[in-house]
Structures are given as structure tokens and as C-alpha cells.
Amino acid sequence: MGTKEKILDTALTLFNEKGATDVTTNHLASTLNMSPGNLYYHYRNKEEIIRALFSDYDDASRVLFALPQEEVLSTLHLEQLIEGNFALQWEYRFLFRDLMTLLRRDPELQATYRIHRTHGFDNSRQLIVFFAHSGVIAPITDEFELDILARLIWMVSDFWLPSLELGGELVTPERFKQGVALVRQISGSRILAK
């Protein structure tokens, strides 16, 4: 593992444990046993590190939610997407926990996030249509219904972690499974009996 990758790996661990707002570059450099100057040689500031981690998350998300090559999808495909999404969010949980603060502090990250969000939402709508055409979920009768279903799934998926923390609840992988169950409930209400 190269130095830049080691920095990102360590930053991800610290940000997930303590929150990105509470971890300084000095703290990160100390954990890595390197000087702050050496850290700044690779990444000019914490925002650049966060942008690199967001880029890694975005890349993984695009792979996970790539439009399927199979002509017919199954409920197994749907389950894999739902579970894969929450597993990915758990891996990058600091992004969801600190999202509003990070976006307010970094206009460049905010612009990147908006592109990610637009692409992700459009992709979600297309995936719902794919699942409807495959007979996994009930057919979508109009654009409004499609939009509502996509928004519900998106909101529960992206804001489950902040919802837990706002309620003062302990965030664990098991609690993330409840988020999986909620998305299943939303999409499952449309799953056709086979």
C-alpha cells in the first residue's frame, strides 16, 4: 500500500470512529507516525482527503448501482443492491454522519456531491423501471409514482444513519440492518408474489 492509500485508509478509520469534524490533520499525521509536512506533501488539507474518500465512495457506488446487463432481474438482485448499499454506507459512514457540515465547509465537495446525487437518483429511477420490467416489482403506472418510490428509497438509504444519531441511538452494523429492512419494506410493498 502506497503512502497516499495509507493516509486515506487511516483517515477513513479515524473519521468513521470520531467524525471528520473532530479529526485534525495533526491528529491524522500523528496516528500515521509522519510529520504534518509529509502529510501535506500528499494532501494539502483535510478537505482534499475528504474529497478523495468521497471519490472512492462515489466510484464504489457507481459500480454497485450500474445498470444491469442481465435481461431479467430477480428479487435476489434487488436484495443484493439493498444490502450492498448499506454495507457501502457503513464503510463510509462519516460521510453520511457529517454530510451537511462537510458540504457547507467545502464548495468543491458540495458541487461533486450534487453531481453524485443527481446521477444516483436518476439511476435509482432506472433501476426501479428495470425491476418492474423484469416482473420483480409491480409495474409503475406513472412518472409521479416512480418519482415518489425513488425518493422514499433514496431518503431512507441516505439518511438512516443521521436519523439514528439524532435520536441518540447507538450506531452499529446491526442498526444498519434496520435500514435494510426499511428499504425492503418500501420496495417490498411492490414485490410481486411468484
Contact call for residues 86 and 159 (beta carbons, < 8 A): no
Average pLDDT over residues 80-105: 93
45-60 tens-digit pLDDT: 999 999 999 999 999 9
Single-letter amino acid code for the residue at 75: T
Q: Top-level CATH class of 46-188?
A: mainly alpha
DSSP class of residue 2 equals -
**Surface-to-core class of residue 189, CB atoms within 10 Å of its CB (0-12 exposed, 13-18 middle, 19+ buried):** exposed
More confident residue, 177 or 101: 101
| Closest by Cα among 99, 108, 102 to 155 | 99
Which CATH number applies to 1-44? 1.10.10.60
Helix axes 107-133, 143-166, angle to 10 degrees: 130
Domains 1-44 and 46-188 share a fold: no
Average pLDDT of the residues of the chain = 90
95-137 tens-digit pLDDT: 999 999 999 999 999 999 999 999 989 988 998 888 888 888 8
Give the start-to-end residue ranges of the domains of the chain.
Answer: 1-44, 46-188
CB atoms within 10 A of CB 54: 19
Residue 168 grid coordinates: 441518540
Question: What pLDDT was estimated at residue 194?
Answer: 41
| Closest by Cα among 124, 143, 141, 102 to 183 | 124
Looking at the predicted structure, is the pLDDT value of residue 193 above 60?
no
Q: Predicted confidence band at 191 (pLDDT cuts at 50, 70, 90)?
A: low
Residue 60 grid coordinates: 464504489
- Among 2-6, 66-70, 180-184, the least confident range: 66-70
